[in-house]
Every structure is written in structure tokens, then in C-alpha cells.
């Protein structure tokens, strides 16, 4: 008898999550954490596909999953062309755009291709839900300050919306919310009555530095570095997202270790941890301006919001703007499953990319 399982695959920059849901319940979930060396050994995101797939195969074996047990596979959506929110069938165009890197490289680009690989093995369909390129930005927010270059909406859409819904439930569309998602990458989003009208983009070199990303940099100094070191575009992308932030200062991407060292008296490490929190606080302030001060709640989420130190630091800077709630970790796995079930239960039609 089929176990009616949905396989959920979520490749993050510093970790991978995989889960099995069945009949509305989470059956099992595994967080696969990668070291900086493991991830750093690959030249490109595409090169990580086989390595990440083996880890998921191991998980499926551990859970004794057989052909016929799986009814659908869903992967986190990556950096494709800007699209509206919803559940999408993985198709050839999507896979090509994600693999080309035309819209950027990020671990989530592997979500659809990993989902398709397992869907092919199990003879079912592959989906993605609310990818990181969900675009609801108001027009003025697209202006960058240089003709020919536009700002774009790239943020932790799936989890930021899920975290907001976890706090506000069906009232989400009635409130103004700022969500700071702090994981391997950090994005901050301004939700006005359920629409994300502006973001501090989590990957294009804006805003706060993160465990492995630079965030915004002094442009002239960075331009000089590019010229002096004859950096290629690939090398620049890797510095901005992969080799930047806390990793560039300490060599570490695991914020639990960073915090432990900082609290044990390593003052350099503490300084870089505080610097990251300080920059996130500034991004929250920026989104408060976008919402013209009408902020009902600030939500801190992502793996780093498990840290009481980070949460208290941020509260001390931003709690004058609005009440702060914490949704530690992420709700991406549930949100991916829910998105697929809305399609399988015919409450929603799958969108075509």
C-alpha cells in the first residue's frame, strides 16, 4: 500500500533540509549540515548536485522509502526570472534558467533539479513553491541610482511569509510587518497588507553581512580590489556570497561556534558578531521607513534567531519601532508541503513557469 508521501527538499547555502510528509503530518526531517570546506570544495553550485543527492538518497534509505510510496516531490525554488508567488510545476525552462546562473547562483537553484531527479525516479511530478525571486516590489523600490541597473526582489520569500503567517495567521493581509530572516544569507522584507513591497535583497550585495555574504560594500574600494586582483565575475560572485561576511573574518559559517567563541571572550569574534547584528538592525530601520513608520510587528526568523544573544542585541536596537516576535529556524518545509497539497487537493492550480 502507498504511504502517500511527499518528499520535500530544501538546499540552503550552509545546510540542506529534507523531509517526508504524509497525510498532513511530518513523518521525518533531517538537517544535513555542511562544513565550509565541503561546500568550498565545489567550483559552482551546479557541481554540488550529485553530492547533495547522495545525502538525500541516504535519508530515503534510512526511512525505507520504496517506489510507489512517493506521490510528489517539491524543492525550494531558486534564482529564476522574477515571478509571482504560488506553486509551480518544474519544467525544462525553469531548470535551464536555474542551471544557467543567468539570474544568480545560490544553493536553492538546486531545489528544482533535485526534486526533478527524484520525481523521475519515483515516476511523479516535481514542484516548487514561493521561490526566492517572488516579486511584489513597488516600482519606486526598483530604482538603483544608476541607469541600466535595477534593484530586484530576492529574499527568503517562503519562510518570511510563513513566519509572518505563523504570528498573524489569517490576519497577515491586514497588517504591516517587517521580517528579518537570518540564515546563511540575511534578507529583510517589508510586508504591507500581505504584499512584500520592498526588501533588503539577501544575495545581490545589499544590507547586512551574513555568515557567508558581504552584504553592501564600499563600492570604490571594492572596485579597486576587483581591478588590482583581476577578479572574474565568478570570483566576485563567490566573494559576495560564499566567502564574505563572518566567514571572511573568522573562517567560520556556523554561528553557534561563532557565538560560543564570542561569549567565551574572543573579542575579535564578538566584534564581528555584533557588527552583523548592528547591520541587521539598520536594515530593519530601513524597512520601517518603507512602511512609513506603520509597523505592527517585527519578526526575527531563520537559524540565527535561535540565538538569544542575537535576539537581545536586535531588540535593544529596534524594539522602539514595534513589538518584536521570534520564529526561530524556518517553516520552509511545511510551507513547501502545504503549497504542493493545495495543488494535489485541487484548491489551487499549479502555475506554469
Ligand X SMILES: CCCC(=O)OP(=O)(O)O
Ligand Y SMILES: Nc1ncnc2c1ncn2[C@@H]1O[C@H](COP(=O)(O)OP(=O)(O)O)[C@@H](O)[C@H]1O
Say whether residue 185 binds ligand Y (CB under 6 A).
Answer: yes
User: Is 13 a binder of ligand X (CB under 6 A)?
Assistant: yes
**CB of 220 vs ligand Y, minimal distance in Å:** 30
The option from ligand X, ligand Y, none interacting with 215 (CB < 5 to 8 A, set by class) reads none
The answer to whether 77 contacts ligand Y (rule: CB under 6 A) is no
Under rule CB under 6 A, residue 330 binds ligand Y: yes
| 256, 271, 278, 319: residue in contact with ligand Y (rule CB under 6 A) | 256
Q: Tell me which residue of 132, 103, 38, 104 sits closest to 238, measured CA to CA.
A: 104
Q: What are the two backbone dihedrals, phi and then psi, of residue 252, each rounded to the nearest 5 degrees? A: -115, 145
d(CA 241, CA 254): 15
What long-range pairs does 337-342 form, CB within 8 A, spacing at least 24? 337/6, 337/8, 337/19, 337/21, 337/26, 337/74, 338/129, 339/74, 339/86, 339/87, 339/127, 339/129, 339/130, 340/6, 340/72, 340/74, 340/87, 340/127, 340/129, 341/6, 341/24, 342/87
- Nearest CA to 281 out of 324, 240, 239 is that of 324
Confirm or reject binding of residue 185 to ligand X (CB under 6 A): yes
Number of chain residues interacting with ligand X (CB under 6 A): 15
| Residue 249: CB atoms within 10 Å | 17
Of ligand Y, ligand X, none, which one sits near residue 80, judging by CB under 5 to 8 A according to partner kind? none
Cβ-based nearer residue to ligand Y, 327 or 343: 327
| Per-residue interface string for the shown chain with ligand X, residues 214-243, x marking contact by CB under 6 A | ------------------------------
Residue 183 contacts ligand X per CB under 6 A: yes
Measured from the CB atom, the residue of 204 and 330 that comes closer to ligand Y is 330
Least spacing, CB of residue 231 vs ligand X, in Å: 22
Q: State which of positions 246-265 bind ligand X (CB under 6 A).
A: none
| Binding status of residue 187 toward ligand Y by CB under 6 A | no
Measured from the Cβ of residue 37, the count of other Cβ atoms closer than 10 Å reads 8
Helix and strand totals (H; E) in the chain: 12, 14
Interface with ligand Y (CB under 6 A): 12-15, 183-185, 211, 253-256, 259, 302-304, 306-307, 330
Amino acid at each position: 500500500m502507498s504511504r502517500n508521501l511527499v518528499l520535500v527538499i530544501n538546499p540552503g547555502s550552509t545546510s540542506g533540509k529534507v523531509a517526508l510528509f504524509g497525510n498532513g503530518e511530518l513523518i521525518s526531517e533531517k538537517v544535513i549540515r555542511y562544513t565550509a570546506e565541503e561546500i568550498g570544495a565545489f567550483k559552482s553550485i551546479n557541481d554540488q548536485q550529485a553530492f547533495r543527492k547522495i545525502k538525500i538518497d541516504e535519508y530515503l534509505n534510512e526511512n525505507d522509502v520504496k517506489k510507489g510510496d512517493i506521490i510528489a516531490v517539491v524543492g525550494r525554488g531558486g534564482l529564476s526570472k522574477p515571478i509571482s508567488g504560488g506553486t509551480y510545476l518544474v519544467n525544462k525552462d525553469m531548470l535551464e534558467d536555474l542551471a544557467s546562473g543567468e539570474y544568480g547562483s545560490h544553493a536553492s537553484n538546486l531545489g528544482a533539479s533535485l526534486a526533478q531527479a527524484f520525481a523521475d525516479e519515483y515516476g511523479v511530478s516535481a514542484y516548487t513553491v514561493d521561490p526566492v525571486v517572488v516579486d511584489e516590489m513597488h516600482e519606486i523600490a526598483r530604482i538603483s541610482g544608476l541607469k541600466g541597473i535595477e534593484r530586484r526582489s530576492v529574499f527568503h520569500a517562503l519562510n518570511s511569509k510563513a513566519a509572518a503567517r505563523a504570528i498573524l495567521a489569517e490576519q497577515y493581509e491586514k497588517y504591516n510587518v517587517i521580517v528579518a530572516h537570518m540564515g546563511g544569507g540575511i534578507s529583510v522584507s517589508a510586508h504591507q497588507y500581505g504584499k512584500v513591497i520592498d526588501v533588503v535583497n539577501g544575495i545581490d550585495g545589499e544590507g547586512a553581512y551574513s555568515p557567508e555574504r558581504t552584504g553592501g560594500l564600499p563600492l570604490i574600494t571594492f572596485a579597486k580590489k576587483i581591478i588590482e586582483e583581476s577578479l572574474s565575475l565568478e570570483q566576485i560572485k563567490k566573494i559576495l556570497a560564499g566567502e564574505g561576511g563572518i566567514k571572511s573574518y573568522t573562517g567560520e559559517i556556523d554561528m553557534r561556534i561563532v557565538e560560543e567563541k564570542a561569549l567565551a571572550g574572543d573579542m575579535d569574534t564578538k566584534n564581528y558578531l555584533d557588527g552583523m547584528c548592528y547591520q541587521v538592525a539598520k536594515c530593519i530601520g530601513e524597512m520601517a521607513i518603507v512602511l512609513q513608520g506603520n509597523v505592527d510587528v517585527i519578526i526575527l526568523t531563520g537559524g540565527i534567531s535561535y540565538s538569544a544573544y542575537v535576539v537581545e542585541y536586535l531588540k535593544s536596537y529596534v524594539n522602539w519601532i514595534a513589538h518584536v516576535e521570534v520564529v526561530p529556524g524556518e517553516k520552509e518545509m511545511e510551507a513547501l508541503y502545504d503549497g504542493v497539497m493545495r495543488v494535489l487537493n485541487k484548491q489551487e492550480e499549479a502555475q506554469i513557469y
